A and B are shown apart, each in its own frame.
Chain A
Amino acid sequence: MNTLISSYRKVELFFGNLKFAVIIILLFAVSLGYGTFMESYHGTEYANRLIYKSFWFMGIQFGMFLSILFATLIRLPPKKHLYGFYVIHSGLIILFIGSFITYQSGVDGTITLTPNLPARNIQVNEDELRIQFPSKGKEVTVDLPFTAFKKDLNYEYEGITLKTFLPFSENKQDWIPIKIEDGTQSSSRYRIFTPNFGEFVTLSLHPQSDFSNTQQMGPLNVHYMPASLAECFAQNTPDGLIVWNAETSGCLAPLKKDLKKKKGISGQEMIEVEFSGQKVQFLPGMSPLPLDDKMNLSENSPFRIFSKKLFEKSPHLFLFGKHAAFFDKEKNEWGSQKFEIGEEVSLPWMGFKIRLLEHRTDAYPTMLPRYVKPVQENGQVISGDIKAVEVSIGDQTFWVKSGEPIAFNQNGERITFELGKKALLLPYELVLDQFKMDTDPGTNNPASYESFVTLFKGNDGSTKHHVFMNNPLKHQNFTFYQASYFQTNEGPFGSVLSVNFDPGRFWKYLGSIFLVLGSIWHFVLRKKTVVKPGETRV
């Protein structure tokens, strides 16, 4: 017993010591200061994951709790001059308990309301991966760790392995080798620029690439095509027609003598071209597809036709890997230029130039998430806000990114993956009737945000509510606050309410009152002052 008491005394002396208090307070303050800078540079979520909701930070707070608790216990039984001190410290202990209750069983989330659509999903700030097997009617959810860094998951379920979780990532371009290379599925990277402005453009013909074969840059349209078409584009023919065979990638820019023009059905001009010994008929004014024997459009034929005339009015740039073709309005003709990697070509639009940076036929470009520290600027996270999980099934590996559900076929069975926020279901429904935003007179600055909502309580009927700043809706322990808004594709505004359930609220308020009253008692009411030299206390 005595040893127990003496070891308790040791614990009490250690944690109740003033020096321990000073150290733990400073440690707490320094972590907080670090947290605010991290938040400023990397955003709120990063700071939460790195500091405020991390295990070590909880540890420091627990240290504070122990210090406060034992500092009080060590000063028992009560002494009259310490009454204020006891009240302050009990207030703090109650505050800590209240915060712990909130942490354990509180809910802090958001509900997104689209006009006139019932909603009952509260999204909380924790991530999960949902794996669905629609044919089996089964769903598995995996909680993702609340970490600031890349983390190995090593989770396995029925042949599906979750390998890594990236809480913050950016899509970075990567090259994936092509297993059977035939030279036709090429990809290239260019820089298109003027003296004041420039953009990197990656284009690919590979069907699995995240990059497409066209891109729009302001008024300029860029098209990426197989290299074999380059020579046909370079030729200036009277009709400006090009015929090509998608299978062989061969092309022909027919001259007058190669064409036979006829009147087709319904008055359309029909032409007949002889292409590598084969006669093919088209209605170029109607479709790029050729006609079959019965004069129907044939989708299965590898032949296509198109007219360059369509691309003469506005700026169109055709790229073929190491060739570029375009219509020069001043010269009124099509021009073509060959360039090697690192070389640049002048384009006929407002000083535009293009430089070839990379050209490959052995690999295709795609975007893979890579871990980055997020970057915040002017209160907005501008990079690193993609979450991603690396999944492997059999010999295939792929990434599931936040906001981009993926479907995967395994032996004919469909599996879908979705990375998103955890959701709680409310036992009732909310419908947004209208979202209203008032502005300050004569300006576009918002003066108020208001949501008019209807609350459907099943058999208990429904009630109308008006939610605006500082006027939340309270229902069954949950409180709904006006938080944000968004514009729907259809036009009207949707509203975002923050949803809160805080079972620790009473204790936090009680602790606060103790703390403030105790401080007044201890610091203000207790008069113990040093007398001015040369004076005596009255």
Chain B
Amino acid sequence: MFKILFVFLISMTSAFGQMDFCNKDLETFPVQAGGREKPLYVFANETIRFMTGSEKVGEYSATEAFCKLSLKAFGMPVELPIMVKVDHVDVRKVLGMQEDQTSIPVKELESKADLITSELSQLKENNSFKKELTRVESRLNTYRAIINARAWSVPVKTENKIEFITIGEFLTESRVASAKDKGSNPVSFLFAESKADYLALKGDQYLLELKYYKWNLFNWALISTLLSIILFVAMKNKIPGTVFILLTIGLQITAITLRVMISGRAPITNMYETVMFSGFGGLVISCVIYFMRKEIMFILAGLACNLLGLMMMKFANGMLDEGISPLVPVLRDNFWLSTHVSTIILSYAALALSWLLANALLIKGRFSTVSSAEYRYQVDLIYTCIKVGVVLLAAGVILGGVWADYSWGRFWGWDPKETWSLIVLLIYMAILHGKYTSWIPPKRFVLMVAGAFMSVMMAWFGVNYILASGLHSYGFSEGGAIFLGTFFLIQTLILIIASIKTSKEA
């Protein structure tokens, strides 16, 4: 049916060039995908990036490539160099690729579809190989959905209501024929009409997402954070650094607000958002503590915390998915969930400050001498952060109980995520209690605080990436296990290096 349409289209217009409606105008076109309405630009970028790992296909932008691929369904002879991303070395071997070859032409992958299916049916254990193979299969399926005009749905007005139908159902022969006289390009006209109908009935709220994606505010915040750190370290005058802190905070508040407006919920419902919120939270908490105790170290730790968060958001795409998708039912309209998670994340941010300060002191103590008065002072700074962190964490754990009671009717259910947040609290409690005994003198205290943050990382990422079970399964995704393992390894090395010196001194 589609092919006939193409012949029909060709017969209507003399030049193929005139038919090219896959242009920049489509970026703002509203589509429905994955249960949400968003601009085509965002959906095309997410999809092309998921398939290929890049946001461009040859010379074409994601939107253009996406649109052109969809035309294949109508028989248009479109050939785009789509290279499907393959991350796992063993998967590459199975697909007959070189070990260092990171992607495979989609045509070649298409010929190996049966191989993937039979390989998947034989794999019992759900290991990283199987997961990546499943992902490759789903990348291929995404490609198939696009070229069969099933991947995206476009708005149509029916009785003063907007309904969504797939692009294949939209560009029917009769619809195109009826638009024949409405201008040089009937398909462009249909898209424009569809968009106008949508705007008239639903407004242009969805275009916020386009701004959010195009402005890249978090990248600018990353640069601003870096500049602020450099200025604070390099210059005696604190004003330039402060200006950049204010700029960073402003950028992040704008970005987070936009995200809240787009998704219509608190920005703490998946890993990406918790990292986004915690980095920012760390910076804000450090500023608050700075006003309580005028000490620039807090600000530096807060900036470093924000920098780490922003870098994770930028570079750890395999682990953190920045897409905005609908929530599972239990997380919707939930005041207690929002307060619980944000309190916990803020407490992790405060504990991250203590961890940064502790590690800084450990490294400083290893490579230069720190006077005992200075050491005592630094320990007290760390202690201040822990106090804030512990109060927030205790409140957060309890709010978690309130949420569970509200949603499930039980205050405490030994769910792994709940349990690990309690473990973190207990570990810091043990350290704080031990601080008053002879067991934990100041030097050991610093070592322990640096090490204790590993429990935070376990509760934050480990439960999702390593334990992956229980009521919190909505947050589980892969790729984080390596990140976490590397973190534990580096932290342990720092502890060993620092404690060798400590034991010599002792």
Contacts and interface: CB of A to CB of B under 8 A. Distances in A.
B1 interface: no
Interface in A3-48: 18-19, 21-22, 25-26, 28-29, 32-33, 35-37, 39-40, 43-44, 47-48
A213 interface: no
A340 to B, nearest CB: 29
B470 interface: yes
A29 B377 contact: no
A154 interface: no
B374 A516 contact: no
B411 A505 contact: yes
Contacts of A516: 391, 394-395, 398
Which of A19, A449, A516 has the most chain B CB atoms inside 10 A of its CB? A516
Interface stretch (B15-23, B308-316, B433-441): B433-441
Given A442-B35, A500-B409, A531-B377, A36 B164 contact: no
A376 interface: yes
B384 A519 contact: no
B433 A25 contact: yes
A485 to B, nearest CB: 11
B398 A512 contact: yes
A533 B371 contact: yes
B293 A529 contact: yes
B122 to A, nearest CB: 6
B495 interface: no
Contacts of A445: 35, 326, 328
Given A498-B409, A523-B391, A22 B34 contact: no
Given A39-B470, A447-B329, A524-B391, A33 B423 contact: yes
B233 interface: no
Interface stretch (B4-12, B52-60, B89-97, B414-422): B414-422
B307 interface: no
Contact of B433 (A22, A36, A48, A533): A22
Contact of A39 (B36, B377, B469): B469
A102 B36 CA distance: 42
Contact of B398 (A47, A470, A515, A524): A515
B420 to A, nearest CB: 6
Contacts of A44: 414, 469-470
A508 B373 contact: no
B452 to A, nearest CB: 11
Contact of B164 (A40, A441, A520, A533): A441
Contacts of A500: 409-410
B235 interface: no
A187 B422 CA distance: 55
B401 A29 contact: no
B422 A36 contact: no
Nearest to A508: B411
B426 A446 contact: no
A443 B37 CA distance: 12
Given A39-B470, A377-B126, A532-B377, A32 B419 contact: yes
B118 A532 contact: no
A470 B422 CA distance: 24
B410 A108 contact: yes
Contacts of B380: 529-530
Nearest to A25: B430
A469 B330 CA distance: 6
Nearest to B476: A379
Which of B122, B334, B410 has the most chain A CB atoms inside 10 A of its CB? B410
Contacts of A447: 35, 326, 329, 332
B177 interface: no
A157 interface: no
Contact of A515 (B394, B427, B467): B394
Interface string A289-304: 0000000000000000
Contacts of A505: 405, 411
Interface string A366-380: 000000000011110
Contacts of A531: 377
A441 B164 CA distance: 9
Interface string A255-280: 00000000000000000000000000
B436 A18 contact: yes
Contacts of A245: none
Interface in A501-537: 502, 505, 508-509, 512, 515-516, 519-520, 523-524, 529-533
13 contacts: A29-B423, A29-B430, A36-B467, A197-B121, A441-B36, A448-B329, A469-B329, A469-B407, A470-B333, A470-B407, A500-B410, A502-B411, A519-B391
Given A196-B122, A440-B35, 11 more contacts: A32-B419, A33-B423, A39-B416, A378-B468, A439-B35, A441-B35, A442-B34, A443-B34, A479-B409, A500-B410, A519-B390
Closest 3 A-B residue pairs measured CB to CB?
A440-B35, A500-B409, A530-B380
